[in-house]
Chain A
Amino acid sequence: MEKHAGVGEKKQVTLRVFRGLGTDRSKDRYEVFTVPRQDGMVVLNAIHYIQSHFDSSLSARWNCKAGRCGSCSAEINGWPRLMCKTPVDEYEGEEITVEPMKAFPLLRDLVTDVSANYEIAKAMPPFTPKEAPDHVWSMQQIDVDKGREFRKCIECFLCQDICHVVREHKANYIGPRWVVKAASFDMHPMDALNRSDFMKESAGLGYCNITKCCQEVCPEHIIITDDAIIPEKERIVDTHYDPLVWIYEQIKGTSKGKKKSKKE
Chain B
Amino acid sequence: MRAAIECFDRGVRVFLVCKSLLGKAHTVMAEGGIAASLANVDPQDNWKVHFSDTIVEGQSINNWKMAEIFAKEAPDRVIELEHYGALFDRTPSGKIMQRPFGAHSYRRLCYVGDRTGLELIRTLEDQVVKRNIPYEDEVVISGIFKDKSTGAVSGALGIRIRTGEIIRFRCNAVVLATGGCGKVYEVTSNSWESTGDGIALAYRAGAELMDMEMIQFHPTGMIYPAGVRGMLVTEAVRGEGGILTNARGERFMENYDPKRKELSARDVVARSIYTEIMAGRGTKNGAVYLDVTQRGADYIKKKLPSMYFQFLEFAGIDITKEKMEVAPTVHYQMGGVKVDPETCETSVTGLYAAGEVASGLHGANRLGGNSLSDILVFGRRAGIAASEYIKQKNPKNELSDEDLQKEISRILSPFRTTSGANPFELKERIAAVMWHYVGIVRKEEDLQRGLDEIGKIRLESKNVQAKGPRAYNQSWADSLAVWNMVLDCESIIRSAIARKESRGAHTRSDYPNKDDSKWMVNIIIKRSEDGQMTQETVPVPKMPPDYEALLNREEILAWKANVKEE
A and B form one complex: yes
- Measured between C-beta atoms, what is the minimum distance from A97 to chain B in Å? 20
B90 x A140 contact (CB < 8 A): yes
From the candidates A121, A137, A140, name the one contacting B129 in the complex (CB within 8 A). Answer: A121
Indicate if the CB atoms of B162 and A107 lie closer than 8 Å.
yes
Min distance, Cβ A90 to any Cβ of chain B, angstroms = 11
9-residue interface stretch from A45-53, A208-216, A247-255: A45-53
The residues in A between 1 and 53 inclusive whose CB is less than 8 angstroms from any CB of B are: 1-2, 21-23, 38-42, 45, 48, 51-53
Task: Mark interface residues in A122-148 (1 if CB within 8 Å of B CB, else 0).
Answer: 100011010001001111110010011
CA distance A57 to B422 in the complex (A): 10
Give the docked Cα–Cα distance between A185 and B85 (Å): 8
What is the minimal beta-carbon distance from A28 to any residue of chain B, in angstroms?
14
A204 CA to B88 CA, complexed, in Å: 31
Q: Say yes or no for A167: interface residue by CB 8 A criterion.
A: no
A195 CB–B CB distance under 8 Å: no
A56 & B119 in contact (Cβ 8 Å cutoff): no
Give the Cβ gap from A69 to chain B, nearest Cβ, in Å.
Answer: 4
Q: Which residues of B contact A63 (CB under 8 A)?
A: 20, 24, 26, 191-193
Other-chain contact of B118, A85, A87, A108, A154 (Cβ < 8 Å): A154
Q: Are A51 and B474 in contact (CB under 8 A)?
A: yes
A133 in contact with B80 (CB, 8 Å): yes
B85 engages A188 (CB within 8 Å): yes
B473: CB under 8 A from chain A? Answer: yes
B313 in contact (CB, < 8 A): yes
Binds B, one of A110-118, A224-232, A236-244: A110-118
B residues near A64, Cβ cutoff 8 Å: 24, 26, 28-29, 191-192
B448 at interface, CB cutoff 8 A: no
Q: Which residues of A contact B474 (CB under 8 A)?
A: 51, 58-60
| Bound CA span A45–B306, Å | 21
* Chain B residues in 8 Å Cβ range of A52: 422, 424-425, 427-428
Known: A42-B227, A144-B88. Is A55-B428 also a contact (CB below 8 A)? Answer: no
| Min CB–CB distance B472 → chain A (angstroms) | 4
The listed residue (A21, A38, A155) touching B23 by CB distance below 8 A is: A155
Given the known interface contacts A40-B225, A52-B422, the answer about A155 and B24 at a Cβ–Cβ threshold of 8 Å is: yes
Q: A40 touching B224 by the CB < 8 A rule?
A: yes
Query: A144, B192: Cβ atoms under 8 Å?
Result: no
State the majority secondary structure of interface residues on A. Answer: loop
B130 interface residue, CB < 8 Å from A? Answer: yes
Contact status A151-B465, CB under 8 Å: no
The CA-CA distance from A188 to B83 in the complex, in Å, is 11
The verdict on B280 contacting chain A, using a C-beta distance below 8 Å, is no
A111 closest partner in B (C-beta): B472
The answer to whether B130 touches A188 (Cβ under 8 A) is: no
- Interface size of A by CB at 8 A reads 66
B315 within 8 A of A: yes
Give complex CA distance A33, B162 in Å. Answer: 25
With contact pairs A52-B422, A66-B232, A136-B79 given, residues A188 and B471 touching in the complex (Cβ less than 8 Å): no
Q: A64-B192, A126-B129 are in contact. Are A144 and B425 (CB under 8 A)?
A: no
User: What are the residues of chain B within 8 A of A87 when measuring CB–CB?
Assistant: 227
A140 and B94 form a contact (CB under 8 A): yes
In the complex, the answer to whether A69 meets B20 with C-beta atoms within 8 Å is: yes
- Contact of A137 with B29 in the complex, beta carbons under 8 Å: no
A151 adjacent to B428 (CB under 8 Å): no
Are A108 and B471 within 8 A (Cβ)?
A: yes
How far is B470's CA from A21's CA once the two chains are assembled, in angstroms?
Answer: 11
Cβ–Cβ contact B94 & A108, under 8 A: no
**A65-B88 contact, Cβ under 8 Å, with A40-B224, A111-B472, A122-B132:** no
Known contacts A57-B468, A144-B90; A40/B314 CB under 8 A: yes
Any chain B CB within 8 A of the CB of A260? Answer: no
Instruction: Compute how far the CA of A108 lies from the CA of B138 in the bound complex, rounded to whole angstroms.
Output: 14
Contacts of A62 in B (CB 8 A): 192
Closest chain-A Cβ to B376's Cβ sits at a distance in Å of 15
Mark A residues whose CB is within 8 Å of B: 1-2, 21-23, 38-42, 45, 48, 51-53, 55-71, 85, 87, 107-109, 111, 113-114, 118, 121-122, 126-127, 129, 133, 136-141, 144, 147-148, 151-155, 185, 188-190, 221
Known interface pairs A63-B24, A69-B191; 4 further A-B residue pairs with C-beta atoms within 8 A, sorted by A's residue number: A52-B428, A85-B313, A113-B162, A129-B83
Chain B residues packing against A (C-beta within 8 Å): 20-24, 26, 28-29, 79-80, 82-85, 87-90, 92-95, 97, 112-113, 115, 118-119, 122, 126, 129-130, 132, 162, 189, 191-193, 224-229, 231-232, 306, 309-310, 313-315, 422-425, 427-428, 465-469, 471-475
10 contacts between A and B (CB under 8 A): A21-B471, A48-B424, A52-B424, A60-B474, A67-B313, A68-B29, A69-B24, A122-B132, A129-B83, A140-B90
